[in-house]
């Protein structure tokens, strides 16, 4: 049995390129006692992947040269030496970008059969849905009726944030690139308005749409968008730093927000987080997300791209803003 | 009766200079019903003054050309048409930089006779003491035993922060410029260590002194010092943005912290404030500060400079780091 793997070959400077990864076929190892073998069906493709490729320790150490590209994935057990898993079980875990996972059951979760599309466990019920949930409700301490602005509002995390803010009775302004995305943010996710940063003056539109200021700004992009938001915060505002996709290609020369001193006069805060800081609340969060989904108040948008050999190109889609909702790789 | 006034003449670009202010003698107006006249004794000299001179609305509108330099002050009533005040009363108010205040009693407070040096009402018991108190305990949410780093630790706010953190049982690291200041921060204010940013490698020293990371960073300076702190925060850290004296001369080209994304992995926050956001707690705060002072746990350091005609030079001392503790102008 052969396993197709994606490994880090050369750390990219700036955008990832043809030399960044090496894609190869490797024989699968035999299983040790307690191990499982999983035929992967879907892998999660996330902006944070770009940060792990840089020689910078963020919340996890950087990837080593030759290391399998880290990723969450879903697949089916095809061989097992673990009493806890049967052949045919659908499982989720940190399997990496490869076609066949062979190894321990550490942090592997069995997905019980439900009427939920299993892909959602990598999206709206996975890391991105939880990031939206904890970021908006815990870090952002969202209160009913507040004014919320969300960048990358058609993206994996953003489209969930828009919908949760909406169902909490908030005024929601999205920011996205292009008329098609903006229209989806309004029509499908329920935002009151969406600013097309590619064709509209961002700061001016933000000011007009939020005359009383922004209570919660949920930031996925950084850069000038963050600065425009900082210029329009309300007293007591919370800025949720979920990510900064605009900066990930150049983590060693990030632009800090030049107007961060606006935090002073507005008694405002800017706060970051990673999901695992809320690990004890995963179950509650997933239960809420499933409930809202089944009530028809929250949809999970996935975009599935085919072929492990296309992984580098698929990862690049995120930084070109070419994804709608959560980006998945079908193996 | 003549009144010497300091008025804004030309908005400075960069540092204040000889043309920034016009100092003149003006006749005092006659008092309207309800008004008071105060012979000023001390005026507060604060970094924020520099920000009011710029054409930027912070938490207050910028000063107009020709406007009297805003300042808190203390003086004695010399004439009164208010039933609430008697000639000879010591009062505190937003009197501006002038020798004689003539006007309404709005926000004027009578200072009861106590054994407290009245100058402290402009320092440790005034805006700077309250900024230290609310910044550290409310915004910083300081907990006993945490590791606290304070920039401008020998300054008006900083030296109070060091002492409060100390009496709360914290490990306290100061940052100050020059051996003399550093020795005062340790010997007089009780810090465990003080980094001399003028002669020591800041980031390296910070890392060595805080091997488990910084829980609360109290920032008065911004710039590279803020970035060094962000590189050394502990999980769940709070960065208190009190001011950024290093940036006030160039508010239209402030350096944002390039490593603000460190907030993500450390689930940390950066938060600003102005004292009046805590106005309902002024009495509690002053009572605590007086109690600690009388118990000998908290000293208020003032530096008093003479002569209203020297105001521009005295204000510049703040930005050259030439003050020890709270800077006052004696009229």
Contacts of A331 (CB under 8 A, 6+ apart): A39, A40, A41, A42, A43, A75, A99, A308
Residues of chain A with pLDDT > 70, as a percent, come to: 100
Radius of gyration of chain B (CA): 20
pLDDT the model gives residue B250: 75
Helix (H) or strand (E) holding B145: none
**Residue A115, Cβ neighbours under 10 Å: how many?**
5
Residues of chain A with Cβ-Cβ distance to B253 below 8 Å are 258
A267·B244 Cβ contact <8 A: no
The Cα of B127 is separated from the nearest Cα of chain A by a number of Å equal to 15
The Cα of B247 is separated from the nearest Cα of chain A by a number of Å equal to 10
Alpha carbon of A309 to those of A196, A211, A312, B229, B262: distances in Å? 33, 48, 8, 42, 33
Which residues sit opposite B269 in a β-bridge? A271, B238
**Residue A111, Cβ neighbours under 10 Å: how many?**
15
Helices (H), A242-298: 262-265, 282-294
Quick one: closest CA in B to A262, which residue? B58
When the pLDDT of each residue in chain B is averaged and rounded to a whole number, the result is 94
Helices (H), A148-242: 158-167, 179-187, 202-209, 223-230
Name the pLDDT band for B112 (thresholds 50, 70, 90): confident
Beta strands A100-103 and A109-110 are unpaired
pLDDT the model gives residue B92: 95
pLDDT the model gives residue B60: 81
The Cα of A79 is separated from the nearest Cα of chain B by a number of Å equal to 36
ipTM of the shown complex: 0.91
Give the model confidence (pLDDT) of B269-283 as tens digits. 999 999 999 999 999
Residue B249 reports pLDDT greater than 80: no
Give the model confidence (pLDDT) of A53-81 as tens digits. 988 777 788 999 999 999 999 999 999 99
Give the model confidence (pLDDT) of A176-209 as tens digits. 999 999 999 999 999 999 999 999 999 999 999 9
Quick one: closest CA in B to A241, which residue? B264
Give the model confidence (pLDDT) of A257-303 as tens digits. 999 999 999 999 999 999 999 999 999 999 999 999 999 999 999 99
pLDDT the model gives residue B317: 94
When scoring A56, A250, A258 by the number of chain B Cβ atoms within 10 A, the one with the most, hence best to mutate, is A258
pLDDT the model gives residue B144: 95
Give the model confidence (pLDDT) of B4-36 as tens digits. 999 999 999 889 998 999 999 999 999 999 999
Which of A58, A251, A272 lies nearest to residue B267, judging by beta carbons? A272
What's the average model confidence in pLDDT over B220-235?
95
When the pLDDT of each residue in chain A is averaged and rounded to a whole number, the result is 94
Q: Is A230 on the interface with B (CB under 8 A)?
A: no
pTM, entire model: 0.91
pLDDT the model gives residue B303: 95
pLDDT the model gives residue B76: 97
What's the average model confidence in pLDDT over A293-321?
95
**Based on the number of CB atoms within 10 Å of its own CB, is A107 exposed (0-12), middle (13-18) or buried (19 or more)?**
exposed
Q: Is A271 on the interface with B (CB under 8 A)?
A: yes
The Cα of B242 is separated from the nearest Cα of chain A by a number of Å equal to 7
pLDDT the model gives residue B221: 92
Structure tokens at A58: 């963020």
Residues of chain B with Cβ-Cβ distance to A263 below 8 Å are 241, 270-272
Residues of chain B with Cβ-Cβ distance to A244 below 8 Å are 261
Give the model confidence (pLDDT) of A216-251 as tens digits. 999 999 999 999 999 999 999 999 999 888 777 777
As a whole number of angstroms, the distance between CA A8 and CA A24 comes to 11
Give ∠ CA B247-B248-B250 in degrees, rounded to 5.
Answer: 75
pLDDT the model gives residue A248: 75
Contact A298, A164 (CB under 8 A): yes
Residue B68 reports pLDDT greater than 80: yes
Quick one: closest CA in A to B266, which residue? A273
Give the model confidence (pLDDT) of B174-221 as tens digits. 999 999 999 999 999 999 999 999 999 999 999 999 999 999 999 999
Which of B256, B261, B265 lies nearest to residue A258, judging by beta carbons? B256
B241·A260 Cβ contact <8 A: yes
Residues of chain B with pLDDT > 90, as a percent, come to: 88
Domains of chain B are: 2-123+301-330 (3.90.180.10), 127-276 (3.40.50.720)
Give the model confidence (pLDDT) of A97-137 as tens digits. 999 999 999 999 999 877 889 999 999 999 999 999 999 99
Which of A244, A247, A269 lies nearest to residue B269, judging by beta carbons? A269
pLDDT the model gives residue A55: 85
Residues of chain A with Cβ-Cβ distance to B257 below 8 Å are 256-257, 260
As a whole number of angstroms, the distance between CA B173 and CA B313 comes to 30
What's the average model confidence in pLDDT over A30-47?
96
């Amino acid at each position: 049995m052969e396993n197709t793997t994606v490994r880090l070959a050369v750390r990219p400077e700036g955008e990832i390129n043809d030399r960044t990864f090496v894609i190869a076929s490797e024989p699968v190892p035999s299983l040790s006692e307690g191990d499982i073998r999983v035929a992967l069906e879907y892998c999660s493709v996330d902006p944070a992947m770009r940060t792990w490729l840089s020689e910078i320790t963020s919340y996890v150490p950087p990837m080593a040269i030759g290391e399998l590209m880290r990723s969450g994935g879903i697949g089916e057990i095809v061989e097992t030496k673990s009493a806890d898993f049967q052949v045919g079980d659908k499982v989720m875990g940190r399997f990496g970008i490869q076609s066949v996972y062979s190894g321990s059951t550490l942090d592997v979760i069995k997905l019980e059969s439900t009427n939920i599309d299993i892909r959602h466990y990598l999206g709206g019920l996975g890391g991105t849905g939880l990031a939206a949930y904890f970021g908006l409700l815990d870090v952002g301490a969202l209160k009913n009726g507040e004014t919320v602005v969300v960048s990358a509002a058609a993206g994996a995390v953003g489209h969930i944030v828009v919908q949760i803010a909406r169902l909490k009775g908030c005024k929601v302004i999205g920011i996205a690139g292009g008329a098609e995305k903006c229209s989806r943010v309004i029509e499908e996710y329920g935002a009151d308005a969406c600013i097309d940063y590619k064709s509209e003056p961002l700061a001016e539109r933000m000011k007009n749409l939020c005359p009383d200021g922004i209570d919660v700004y949920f930031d996925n992009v950084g850069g000038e968008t963050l600065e425009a938001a900082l210029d329009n915060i309300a007293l007591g505002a919370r800025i949720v730093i979920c990510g900064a996709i605009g900066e990930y290609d150049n983590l060693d020369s990030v632009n800090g927000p030049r107007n961060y001193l606006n935090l002073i006069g507005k008694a405002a805060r800017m706060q970051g987080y990673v999901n695992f800081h809320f690990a004890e609340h995963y179950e509650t969060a997933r239960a809420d997300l499933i409930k809202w989904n089944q009530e028809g108040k929250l949809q999970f948008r996935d975009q599935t791209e085919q072929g492990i050999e296309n992984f580098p190109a698929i990862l690049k889609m995120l930084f070109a803003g070419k994804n709608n909702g959560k980006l998945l790789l079908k193996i």
